[in-house]
Structure 1
């Protein structure tokens, strides 16, 4: 490798763990892919529960996860992943979304689970 190439390589911003997620958002579903994890996909209409799971693994691994759960499918994406804000905007419009729990979850630095929304049966 040429010296100039080495210098420019050092100037490239280092990737964060969240940068390795590839998220597709359509009108029908959300799909989350990662090179070292099983792909998760769920239709918006099939979501039965939305939770945030926090861990104590940051900053070396994602420590704040948005989890979308259904009867047969689920997917999870870490805060800071591409399209996280777009997904949050969609789910926060669900009737009965618990913003107070979300605010609590953002300040958590330990292992915890926060229920943001649950389908009424």
Structure 2
């Protein structure tokens, strides 16, 4: 319904852009009329774009920002970790992977944003794993720990966070690009 409403209002957007261009040209050619032309231009643009604001307000009522595609609230997702386990909690569902079992880390992105969660961290083990929503509580504490893994690809994180389509980004895989560093503990060389 919202998409149809916005597509019907596309001509209004074109008119608003045209009005803005005309007002810029008039204001540039007649600087002494700027005090009248600029406010009238903004008024005309506001009238043309008014339906967009109404449609966006309607969308915000229907799809709150904190709702994921699965219908769960991002605020209910959380991740915890210690020296042995990483645990993801989504409502009543708990997924976990042992640090020693961790074999791959990836980020999967979707085109569901911005009103739905559109990025998930996948921590894959040999026998189990967990998916962590990018907005999950505790993820900001886990990320620095994951970055300590030898061969972790921070550039892939940046690419994933900028992606707005369905895609997958491998951040780390056991045995790939791992250099033994004297300043890291054996656990960090997973």
- Give the alignment's TM-score, normalised by structure 1: 0.80
Measure the CA separation in 2 of the matches of 1:88 and 1:59: 22
Name structure 2 gaps, 5 residues minimum: 1-63, 67-72, 177-190
Measure the CA separation in 2 of the matches of 1:23 and 1:106: 19
Question: Which secondary structure state, in structure 1, belongs to the residue aligned with residue 95 of structure 2?
Answer: strand
Displacement of 1:15: 7.9
**Contact 2:65/2:114 (CA < 8 Å) preserved in 1?**
no
Higher helix share: 2
Higher strand share: 1
Measure the CA separation in 1 of the matches of 2:143 and 2:78: 16
Counterpart check, 1:31 vs 2:93: no
Name structure 1 gaps, 5 residues minimum: 1-13
Measure the CA separation in 1 of the matches of 2:127 and 2:102: 10
Larger gyration radius, structure 1 or structure 2: 2
- Give the alignment's TM-score, normalised by structure 2: 0.52
Which 4+ runs in 1 deviate beyond 4 A?
Answer: none
Q: Over aligned residue pairs, what C-alpha RMSD do you find?
A: 1.8
Higher relative contact order (CA 8 A, sep 6+): 1
Counterpart check, 1:51 vs 2:106: yes
